[in-house]
Amino acid sequence: MNIATKFTPNKIPTKDVSLEDKYLSDDGTAYMTGIQALVRLPLAQTRRDTLNGYHTAGFISGYRGSPVGNYDNFLWQVEGILKDHHVVFQPGVNEDLAATAIWGTQQANLAGQGKYDGVTSWWYGKGPGVDRSGDVLRHANLAGTSERGGVVAFFGDDHSCKSSSIPHQSEHVMIGCGIPIFYPTSIQQILDLGAHAVAMSRFAGVWTSMKLVSEIVETSASVHVDLDRVTPALPKNVQMPEDGVNIRWPDHGIQQEERLYKYRLPAVLAYARENELNQVTWHCSDARIGIAASGKGYLDTIEALRILGIEDETAQQLGLRVYQVALTWPLEPHGLREFAEGLEELIVVEEKRPILESQIKDELYALPDDKRPRVIGKACDGKGEWSTSIDEAPLIGHYEFQPEPIAKMLAARFLKLDIPEALKTQIQNRVELLQKAEQESRRVLDIAERKPFFCSGCPHNSSTALPEGSRALGGIGCHFIAVSLDRGTETFSQMGGEGVSWAGASHFTNEKHIFANLGDGTYFHSGYLAIRQAIAAKLNITYKILYNDAVAMTGGQHVDGHLSVAQLTRQLDAEGIKKQVIVTDEPELIHAEEGIAPHVEIYHRNELDDVQRKLRDISGVTALIYVQTCASEKRRRRKRNAYPDVAERVFINSEICEGCGDCSKQSNCLSIEPVETALGTKRQINQSSCNKDFSCVEGFCPSFVIVHTRDMKRPEIFQGIEAGWPEKPIIPELDQQPIRIMVGGVGGTGVVTAGSAWYGSSFGR
């Protein structure tokens, strides 16, 4: 779902709007998504450096994953603009190798052969990528950054495990590596804090990082793009070593550690204070209660206060003060103490394990009893995080939370204060309304549940099927859905560890063989090492390498390099695989491909069951390469005329169909839908979602009708439908009131595009 930006029509001048304004305009406003803001940051930094007289370049590398899954696609779209700005985009094969390349950009001038004054670099990856990159992140941050370069690491966290194998919170890894963390609350703050992150990285000689969550980065907004909106102020009175804090060579690890904790991180704190990164957003001179929050937690807090009806006047009655923390680690102490002065209670709102709360307690602990506020968050009533039970904790330390539970927690704290009766009654009434709304929403949620399933025509729908009596281990990718289905795919591993758990389990079970699912994107990323381990351990395992020609789960990208089916077979042959076969929906194309390893047998996908039965009887490591292009990617490419279309459509004759469901059993396809007729429940094919896989026709049924046509649209039918439509509504005159437009839909269907179009129309386009 996308909510188009709020705008006041008569106050916005008509102007021409270009699609490139979001990247090239340096004054006024521009409409962009959070991902597009991340694209703009390196471009704007180069222009900012040029204005300041520096000849710098940029470098971007990382590995895709929600909520930054489409970042690379957007970067490829502006390849020419990147080149004009001396910005190189080079995706990594995996996250840690990308971070190593980023580290290298800061070394470019050490040998005296650099082309630029410095290289500003930007790393991206999601939570698991942060985990696997800990070694290089620690090494690179200890080494430091160049004076005119700098590094910003974008890390995406999926708190609620919506598109990940496990929920994530990456701050603790960054803290362990000594990397400062910014947490923006909006797209505007992505731009503003991004500029500060670069300036801080250069000044203090550290890597900096920015936490991103989907609730912020996957939204759209109108933002100010003036280059001088952020003018970093460099602190003067900061203790620095004579030779500075930036990267150098040679440099011993002992000296690097001392430099980080003695000079660099104090310089980070000085920068944060000088530029007032953390701000009091709700002021009250005689405040009794304060709230500190960051990122999404801050937005949830403001919404929670709105739910309770707390605005400026009522906030003054409560004695309420609110602190927005943009730099969550390390927490700048002077600003915190000023905010906490005079408070009786300080409430910390943050998702997951405490980051702010622990630092706040540490900083305020030594204050005298009459000046130290109670700190409430994951713990309360004088207890710590681990002595507070889950039932006692004001806010949970796992999953995610929304504004409603925050509102109830705040209400409970407010009602303990000596406040006017009218305000107390208002808060109690709001809580009662909130509880009624929650009861109703639970009733609706029990009814409406959208479970994940394979797209229509998805190759994984067929390739993850198993012969009777066999099990498979799951892996990372769209095929992970098989774990949640009753198909014999059980348990999974981290990305790149597919099948290796069998190296441990196989010694202690009577089971003799197992299958393991491994996507081609994961194979290229790190999965080939899992196969090497399986061969070294002499396992009885069959790897099902699901070659679908796209990293479908994150936007349909190709792997970050070249991996043909022929190359794959030769790599496996060189590793010492016992036997490998190819199963595909188009055997003739594979037979025509040059360079296939010797002795590789090729079968049609209809023979999958028999092939798997043969492979499981072979001792050692075997491989089944299942070749079929991702159905959704086929659809995307066909829309761009980049993939051959099939001039056929399959229909089901409802008068012949007996409703047996064998077509659904054979294909597991969501486009086969039940339809009620006078003769009972039959089947039909949803032509809008059908991706022309045609596996449904394998059903034992004579009701299928194949129509040879490309165009399903008949203009005369639509004209007839339009004739019965009601009159178009009268559009009211626009006034000064803001307009909000909500666009509902499933991602990838044009929701964001529609929002952008409406924004453009607000400028008279």
Please tell me the distance from the alpha carbon of residue 342 to that of residue 71, in angstroms, as a whole number. 45
pTM confidence score = 0.91
pLDDT of residue 1: 31
Which of helix, strand or coil describes residue 539?
coil
Cα angle 276, 279, 284 (rounded to 5 degrees) comes to 135
Q: Are 565 and 534 in contact (CB under 8 A)?
A: no
pLDDT of residue 716: 63
Q: Are 160 and 195 in contact (CB under 8 A)?
A: no
pLDDT of residue 6: 37
Q: pLDDT of 565-612, one tens digit each?
A: 999 999 999 999 999 999 999 999 999 999 999 999 999 999 999 999
Angle between helices 34-51 and 187-204 (to 10 degrees): 40
Q: Which amino acid is at 756?
A: S
Q: Are 119 and 58 in contact (CB under 8 A)?
A: yes
Helical H segments across 543-601, by residue range: 565-575, 587-592
End-to-end CA distance of the chain: 24
- 358-362 contacts: CB < 8 A, separation 24 or more? 358/385, 359/329, 359/330, 359/331, 360/292, 360/331, 360/336
Please tell me the distance from the alpha carbon of residue 661 to that of residue 718, in angstroms, as a whole number. 32
- How far does Cα 626 stand from its chain's mean position? 28
pLDDT of residue 139: 99
Q: What is the CA radius of gyration of the chain?
A: 29
Q: Where are the beta strands (DSSP E) in 352-412?
A: 374-376
Biggest CA pair distance of the chain: 89
Q: Are 117 and 148 in contact (CB under 8 A)?
A: yes
pLDDT of residue 651: 93
Nearest to 518 by CA among 568, 452, 586: 568
CA dihedral 458, 463, 467, 473 (to 10 degrees): -110
Q: Which amino acid is at 441?
A: S
Surface-to-core class of residue 35, CB atoms within 10 Å of its CB (0-12 exposed, 13-18 middle, 19+ buried): buried
Tokens coding 714? 């008949």
- How far does Cα 707 stand from its chain's mean position? 41
Q: Are strands 220-224 and 29-33 parallel, antiparallel or unpaired?
A: antiparallel
Tokens 């909500």 correspond to what residue?
742
Cα angle 517, 604, 579 (rounded to 5 degrees) comes to 55
CA dihedral 93, 99, 104, 106 (to 10 degrees): 150
Please tell me the distance from the alpha carbon of residue 733 to that of residue 191, in angstroms, as a whole number. 35
Domains defined along the chain, listed by start: 30-274 (3.40.50.970), 279-445 (3.40.50.920), 459-634 (3.40.50.970), 647-712 (3.30.70)
Which of helix, strand or coil describes residue 160?
coil
Q: Are 210 and 183 in contact (CB under 8 A)?
A: yes
Which of helix, strand or coil describes residue 542?
strand
Helical H segments across 86-231, by residue range: 95-105, 127-132, 134-143, 171-176, 187-204, 214-217
The full DSSP string for 294-337 is -HHHHHHHHHHHHHTT--HHHHHHHTEEEEE-SEEESPPHHHHH
Per the DSSP assignment, residues forming a β-bridge with 764 are none
Q: Which amino acid is at 544?
A: K
Half-sphere exposure at residue 374, Cβ-oriented, CA atoms within 13 angstroms: 13
Q: Are strands 2-3 and 742-743 parallel, antiparallel or unpaired?
A: antiparallel
Q: Are 524 and 93 in contact (CB under 8 A)?
A: yes
Other beta carbons less than 10 A from residue 297's beta carbon? 27
Half-sphere exposure at residue 542, Cβ-oriented, CA atoms within 13 angstroms: 28
Please tell me the distance from the alpha carbon of residue 324 to that of residue 283, in angstroms, as a whole number. 12
| Phi–psi pair at 503, nearest 5 degrees | -65, -25
Q: Are 740 and 4 in contact (CB under 8 A)?
A: yes
pLDDT of residue 725: 78
Please tell me the distance from the alpha carbon of residue 193 to that of residue 577, in angstroms, as a whole number. 50
Q: Are 85 and 40 in contact (CB under 8 A)?
A: no
pLDDT of residue 634: 86
| Phi–psi pair at 244, nearest 5 degrees | 80, -175
Contacts of 388 (CB under 8 A, 6+ apart): 378, 379, 380, 381
Please tell me the distance from the alpha carbon of residue 108 to that of residue 113, in angstroms, as a whole number. 7
Please tell me the distance from the alpha carbon of residue 597 to that of residue 532, in angstroms, as a whole number. 18
Nearest to 121 by CA among 208, 227, 246: 208
Nearest to 187 by CA among 153, 155, 228, 217: 217
Regions in the chain scoring below 50 on pLDDT: 1-14, 765
Nearest to 146 by CA among 116, 177, 178, 176: 116
Please tell me the distance from the alpha carbon of residue 290 to that of residue 104, in angstroms, as a whole number. 44
